[in-house]
Structure 1
């Protein structure tokens, strides 16, 4: 299990009082008079009823921000995103910001644009012109941060560390206004570790079209609304839920570098169960080097449940390093 006391000390003794750049994150804007109805027909989660977040404010809670997935017609995730509604001061039209992995932002924006048809919607990938940053710390540290009028800011779910919550604020602003955002290796490592420990998945290019949402627990972290209308892949996602067809789940795990013979650990790296070496048992979803233990890497993995029950899970090959499976910070919805 994670050495949570060391992690807790790191977060609260070294809060990110200024945002740090998140180079793996990008930003897509969806705006126009039909933006809400357009996204409602594309995403796994409902966007109806989401509150507007005005300049200088942060979107927070389910009323202000939503975790969403974007699927292929086969029900496989092309992207996951954090979404907020940030109206423009000089327009009455809807304007949604989707925080996504930067390596897929351009392709997702292009794909969304293909489905606009005659809708009054504009989809723009701003990843090159806007910089995404992150801030972490206690509730007070997050609340004390002054959000500029040019920022989009949303509060991500806290991460529980040694029975205390670490807050996270995800932001974006035009690069010309990013003077107070630091390129901090230490703070980026801490942010990435928190993201892994949250057990909330993020789709990257290497894991596109690999997972039905339930395979990486998206429904258990409020990323799927089974009561909303149709979206690409909806029938397959619903069938997987109600017929109990999901036999794979996201887990937390870790490994020590001195045990490794494969580096680096990247999303998409395959996992194996020693008794069934002929086929992969799963893959890495996200990974982060531990900020305090230099030899340790924490992982989100997607894995067959029967492989977990059968014995040890190996990283990279059937005789690769053995992964230590850690506890999830939330209960899984029953399927």
Structure 2
């Protein structure tokens, strides 16, 4: 357990040893998220790439443009197998010295090891940066008031980034009608600022933050869903995670073919159920009950006691009959609109 996790555990957090997520028993149950909330994103890992060839090396490995990534922007990207299936999804950004890739802590070591295999003669060094940085999710209708104490000017658009002496701040897509930000700062600074932050912001669990991610329509590949999806199956090209004009990368031909040859038959939708769900669970259509028609990408308990989820599914199955969790006899899914439009 790193020092940031140890600090949180001493200050009222329960740490899940399985994925390093945290839960705060002191947070009262509520029908809606607090006006200002803060979530330690302890389930997330970081890979740092440093060296003269860091940008060009990474540019040739992932689905988005790294060489032209400005310091004022963060981007989504996918790392694919040669068959075009997503091994990982990243939020990436640059600092003065390095490029940082954010992904689930559980899959960070094998993904870093796989990337390292392809370095060869490139002048680039990969390191685990998860212990020296703290990541905090800040959101709610009043979150700008809190952040103004450290960032007088806030990033205005989703994935815009601002750097200051107090760390980096990335604007994330809104959720539940309120702004969200990710604050990246040294772990020691996070510990010293935590008491001041929590005077105004209510600490929420990692799972509650995942719920906001789900409602923003941003998927994350986790251990159960590795190599299950071509990027378009989870709407990754719609949210800025794929650049079709950049050069080659593993799986690029298949990703491009999926984009340009025919209509996509699978998409990711926002759904809810009265039962518990988890990433990797299959869903079934009443119109074709003998085989799965899709898979849960991400899931989190909602504020009403059920589960909200992002589900990758055959478009035809979502348009006819009912869709059920786990089996054709399982709990029925209800679908809601994503915050962005799907192609007709």
Assess if the C-alpha contact under 8 Å between 1:44 and 1:225 holds in 2. Answer: yes
- Which among 217, 234, 238 is matched to residue 252 of structure 2? 234
What is the aligned length?
296
Gaps of 5+ in 2: 1-29, 152-163
- 42-51 or 221-230: bigger deviation: 42-51
SS in 2 for 1:119: coil
Shift of 1:77: 0.4
- 2:295 and 2:100 map into 1 onto residues whose CA distance is 29
- Report the equivalent of 2:262: 244
- 1:308 and 1:73 map into 2 onto residues whose CA distance is 29
Assess if the C-alpha contact under 8 Å between 2:273 and 2:306 holds in 1. Answer: yes
- 2:172 and 2:148 map into 1 onto residues whose CA distance is 16
- Which among 235, 238, 254 is matched to residue 217 of structure 1? 235
- Report the equivalent of 1:36: 55
Say what the alpha-carbon RMSD is for the aligned residues.
Answer: 2.4
| Cα distance per residue 1:186-222 (max 9 Å; x no partner) | 3544422210101111111111100000000000111
- 1:23 and 1:329 map into 2 onto residues whose CA distance is 26
TM-score (norm 1): 0.81
| Cα distance per residue 1:59-78 (max 9 Å; x no partner) | 4xxxx111111111100001
Task: Please give the residue correspondences for 1:110-259 in structure 2 after superposition, counting only pairs within 5 Å.
Answer: 110-138=113-141, 140-141=144-145, 143-146=147-150, 149=165, 151-159=167-175, 161=176, 164=177, 166-179=178-191, 180-181=193-194, 186=204, 188-244=206-262, 246-256=264-274
- 1:273 and 1:145 map into 2 onto residues whose CA distance is 50
SS in 2 for 1:221: coil
Assess if the C-alpha contact under 8 Å between 1:20 and 1:181 holds in 2. Answer: no
- Cα–Cα, structure 1 residues 107 and 152, in superposed 2: closer, same or farther, change >3 Å? farther
Task: Please give the residue correspondences for 1:69-108 in structure 2 after superposition, counting only pairs within 5 Å.
Answer: 69-88=78-97, 95-108=98-111
Shift of 1:145: 4.9
Assess if the C-alpha contact under 8 Å between 1:26 and 1:131 holds in 2. Answer: no
Assess if the C-alpha contact under 8 Å between 2:150 and 2:166 holds in 1. Answer: no
